[in-house]
Structures are given as structure tokens and as C-alpha cells.
Amino acid sequence: MTSPLLDFQDLPLFDQIRPEHVGPAVDVLLQEAVTALEQVTAPDFPADWTAIARVLDVATERLSRAWNAVGHLNAVADTPELRAAYNEAMPRVTAFWTQLGSDERLYAKYKAIDPATLTAEQAQAHRNAVRNFVLGGAELRGAAKERFAQIQERQAELSQKFSEHALDATDAFAYFAERDELDGLPEDVIAAARAGAEAQGKAGYRLTLKMPCYLPVMQFAKSSALRERLYRAYVTRASELGDPAFDNTALITEILALREEEAKLLGYPNFGALSVVPKMAESPEQVTGFLRDLASRARPYGQRDVAELRQFAASELGLADPQPWDWSYIGEKLKEARYAFSEQEVKQYFPAPKVLAGLFKIVETLFEVSIRRDSAPVWHPTVEFYRIERQGQKVGQFYLDPSARVGKRGGAWMDDVRARWLRPDTGALQTPVAQLVCNFAEGVDGKPPLLTHDDVITLFHEFGHGLHHMLTQVNERDVSGISGVEWDAVELPSQFMENFCWEWDVLRHMTAHADTGEPLPRSLYDKMIAAKNFQSGMQTLRQIEFALFDMLLHTEFHAAGAAPGAVMALLGQVRDEVAVLPSPPFSRTPHTFTHIFSGGYAAGYYSYKWAEVLSADAYAAFEETAGADGLPSVETGRRYRQAILEAGGSRSAMDSFKAFRGREPQLDALLRHQGMAEPLAA
């Protein structure tokens, strides 16, 4: 019987993949890939791009697709058995990719390819490949090469363990509250907590650290003691202050030490310098300069935000000395008082099906495509599957997995199942497929899930990534869609889509009150717009704090021989420089900072702010060309689709941006969008 992981006829057989399939399938695919590598590196094999792709790329793409399916299930449907199978196979997979990326025979073959024989897309992929060989250790020899391979394998192991600890520490917490402790919480959150307790045969209300529960508790629970209980559990997850089985402290130190060693082996002074090589930014110093410049602009606004919170807490809430677990609650109360609405009031107008229909409508209109339901094997009953068509032709497909649940990693992300590729083995065009994953609350009492406006923004953000992957017109796999796009520009299409969540002509078509079906009233929308930049100074500084900490951690920090607590000490220094709200000494933010320790953003978290400059300036083009009815211009949408989305990684992000905007990006649109364009009066 054929393993479902070895079936590449079409889409992954997610409903059939079992833990026992993983090891045997990986062995088969690794053997195929090793055989292909030996074939193309033989002395008599031609140094020809297409010939190499026909043998090696076909084999490695099969391995990637199968392993990505396993990794995806590990992230969204984690079980002890699957985790064990994944961890057992991972060292072998990592070792192969390391071997492939550093194979000097293959490197020599690629260097021997005549660029004059390549198309523009192939030439870009070829340049990237040669660069990646160098970064992958292909020029290392002997003991250095051996050590480089050991570092890669150990890093993969540690990153996976870091991610597991963060997930397990989050899943392990539950507090069964009494009804009177929940005063102030929204009814749907209370109902979900009650259902959670009943599902475990317990009395009371089950509160967790998953976002759909944790965030409303911090914003709305009147009980300071309840907020403190969840806050302390949340900020100490996966640290020495929690369950020792999930402590990430030692992992952080070892990961950082290995990254520094890897950089030194490749001839770079630190991991930050290595990290920016394939990015838009030219150096870590340019990044820290950018972040500190933005911090200096945002700081007066952040200080004003905190002063307003303190004043309101003292005068209206009787909190003369707010504690860390009070700030979200104070902020929500101040917003309600100032703008006369609450997040919960807004949430009633955003049932998930209506939001999705509104998202599809704006995408279909702007980018001249149609989105239809489709069918495919899925990993959970709540997962939906769709196809995107243009002029009746399929251009891409995507899975949507919206709900938070046990065994599913927190946060939201887009992953690719497969890339667009004019296959060199069959000559057929392979269309791209994406996975869009969120962690929204589920519906209760038979009603559809209700999304907060932040949830809506998250959905649009991830869909922006998906569009970048699915609307590409590039036929070369390594530079189609998101592949080959500089990491600090990859957030441009996602952050760009967020802007539509604030447009009246978009919102009114994607809202319907959960009980009455009425669309969002203009009066409530006006309040939302008035509150749009509420605490934007504080929020900007918070992102800069993470980004600056990340870059300094990978440039100025030396893990080898570092004193215990040195990572937290560095974070303390960054907070002293940037933050306007004090953090408690027991907060262990780094211990669940999965973006940089297990998510590919190491020395790259700045990418969010960097790309925000690009996305705000790109969106300004739509503001400048909007019609008299306020609707975005389809012509501008077409230019954006062709210059940014369809081009994928086939040219530099700066070239794509300039093709769309006619110039280099400017900071002023971002500052204007965030209400920080005008200096504050002293």
C-alpha cells in the first residue's frame, strides 16, 4: 500500500497521514534526493540549469512537500505520537539539507552554468543559489565544514524543542474560575469557558492562556486578582519561573552561542551581520539606526499615551499605582470612555462568514480574480478549502484553518504547500497552494464565531501573504511567490492588506450584527476611526523593543561564557532605552519569543517595521487614486498586482516597489497612518 506522504498526484492527503507513515516516507524521499544529488554532481553531468532542475529539483521538491505536510500537522494537530515521529526524522532531513547547501561539487556545477543561457527569472534564482551556497558553508573545508553541519542539526533540534516548550507551557495552564470572578467578561467568552470546563467534566469556568481567552480577561475582567493570576502565568511561560519541564532558558543560550559560531565560521563578526546578507537592509547598524530613529519619533507619543492612562486610572478607576496586569484593562476603559464604544460592541458586527465574504469581495474586485469553495482532504473539520481563478483559469488554492484549539501552535501564519512552477520533468504548470492559519475563538451556542477587529486585521494580514504566494506569474519555483523575496520585504503584501480593514466602503460590506443582521453603523465606524491610533506610540515602541532586542542579541551579545540572567539584562537595557511602560522583573518575554528562536525571524524581527514603511507607502498610492465614491482604484490594484504580487522574488523588492510607486519608499505615509506625522507640542 502506498504511503499518503508519497502520493504527489495533487494535494496532500492530510486526512490519511499518520505518525507511522513519517519515518518510512522520509527514508524513501531522502534516498531519492541523495541519488539525484549524486547524479547531477557526476563529472559528465552538464552544468545546465534545466538539466539539473529536471533531476535534483524534482527530487528535493518531493521531499520538501512531504516534510512540510508533516511539519504543518505538527504545528496544527500536535499529538505525542506525531511529535515523536517528527523529531525522530528531523535530524536526517536537516542533515540532508545541510549537505545539499554545502556540497562543493554542486556549488561548482552551479558556478559553471553560463548566465547567458538563463531567462531573467532563472538568472535571479541562480544568483540566489550561488549566494546561498556560500551562506550554506559550501566554501568551508574539513573540520570547519563538519562543525557547520553539526551546528545546523543541533539548531534544528533546539528550535523545535523551544517551540514545543512554548506550546506545552501554554496548553498546560488552566484555571477553573467561579462565576463571580468573571464579572466584566463578554458573554461569548464566559460561554466558551463554561463549555471548556464541561468538556473536561469539571465545575466552573475553564480559563486558558490561548489568546481568545487570555486577551479578553486582561481587557475586561473587573477582578484585578484574576487578571494578575493569568498575567503572571502568561509572562512566565516556558521559563525557570514555571514548570521546569518546559524551561527554555538553557535553549536560548545554546541557540545564540551556535548562531554566533556559525557566523564566525562563515567569516562574519556576528549572526546579525550574516542575517542581513540576503535582506534589503545593508547592515545591522543600518537596522538599529532605523529602529532608534523611529523610536525617537514615537517616544513623545508613547509618553503621552502612558500619562493619559495613569491620569485616567487614578481619577476614574481609583488605581493610583497601576500594576502590569492593569494596563490592558485601563486602556480598554479609557477607550470606552473617550470614544464611547468597546471592542465587544464592535465584535458583534463581525461574524466570521460575513468577514470572509467581505475579504473575498475586496480581493476579487481589486485583483480581478474570483474565489470559490473547493474540496480537498483536511486535518480538522473546521478547515475550509478554496480556489482562486482568473478568467476561468485556476491560479491558486488555499486552506483556511481559523480556530484556536489544544495541540495547535498559537499565533497566525501563512505556509506554502507547493509553489507555482513550470515543472521541468513534465512541462506542466504546477499552481501554488497556501495554508492560512489563525487562532480565533470558536462559535458558541450555535452561532458563528465572532471576530474582534484585531482578528479581522490578522485575517487580512495572512491573506496578503497568501496572495503574494498564489497570484505570482513567475514560473521558476525558487523565485515564484514568496520564494526568494527578501525577508525584510516579505511583510509588505500582508501589512498592505491590513489598511482595507479601516475603509468604510470595505467594512460596511463585511459586517452584519450577530443578532439583528444590521451592518456596522456609520456612527460606530467613526468612533473606531477616531480610536484607530489610540496608544499607537506605545504600540510602536513595543514593536521596536522586540526588534532592537533581537538585533542586539545577535550582534552585541556573546552567549558563550555569559552570566546567568544576561539575556534578561540585555532586554532590561533595551527597555530602559525604548519602553515607556515598566515591565515587571518576573516577565520572561524571550522564553516564548518563537519568532526569533524557532520561527525564522532571528536578527530579522525588525522586518515588520521595515516592511511597514513599504506597505504604508504602497497603500498611499491607493489613497491618492481613490474614486469619488471612496472605493479603491481597480487600475491601481492592477498595477500593484503586476508589480508586487505577480513578480514574486524574480527581482529585488526595491525594484518591484519602484516599478509600482515610481520611486523609493518614504517614511511619511507610515507616520501619517499611525497619527505621528505632526510633532507634539511641548
* Residues known to be catalytic: 462
- Return the closest-CA partner of residue 653 out of 639, 638, 664: 664
C-alpha span between 254 and 655 (Å, rounded): 38
Enter the DSSP assignment of 414: E
Buried b / exposed e along 484-507 (16+ C-beta atoms within 10 A): bbbbbbbbbbbbbbbbbbebeebb
What residues contact residue 91 under an 8 Å CB cut-off, 6+ apart?
Answer: 153, 156, 157
Beta-bridged to residue 421, according to DSSP, are: 430
Alpha-carbon gap, residue 397 to 388, rounded angstroms: 6
Single-letter amino acid, residue 5 = L
DSSP states along 387-409: EEEETTEEEEEEEEEEE--TTS-
SS3 436: strand
Please compute, for residue 118, the number of CA atoms within 13 A of its CA located in the half-sphere on the CB side.
20
Q: How many CA atoms lie within 13 A of 93 on its CB side?
A: 27
> 3-state SS of the chain: helix, strand, coil percent to 5?
60, 5, 35
For residue 64, which phi and psi values (nearest 5 degrees)?
-60, -45
Query: What single letter denotes the amino acid at residue 330?
Result: I
In 419-566, DSSP assigns E strands to: 421-422, 429-430, 433-440
**Residue linked to cell 475582567:** 221
The Cα–Cα gap between 83 and 74 comes to 6
CB 71 within 8 A of CB 87: no
Q: At what angle do helices 142-172 and 249-265 cross, to 10 degrees?
A: 150
Rounded to an integer, what distance in angstroms lies between the CA atom of residue 321 and that of residue 314?
A: 8
- Reduced to 3 states, what is the DSSP secondary structure of residue 435? strand
C-alpha cell at 348: 458583534
Which residues, other chains included, contact 180 with Cβ-Cβ below 8 Å and sequence gap of 6+?
Answer: none
Residue indicated by cell numbers 509618553:
303
Q: What is the residue type of 122? A: Q
Strand, coil or helix: what is 234?
helix
Q: What's the CA gap between 204 and 216, in Å, rounded?
A: 18
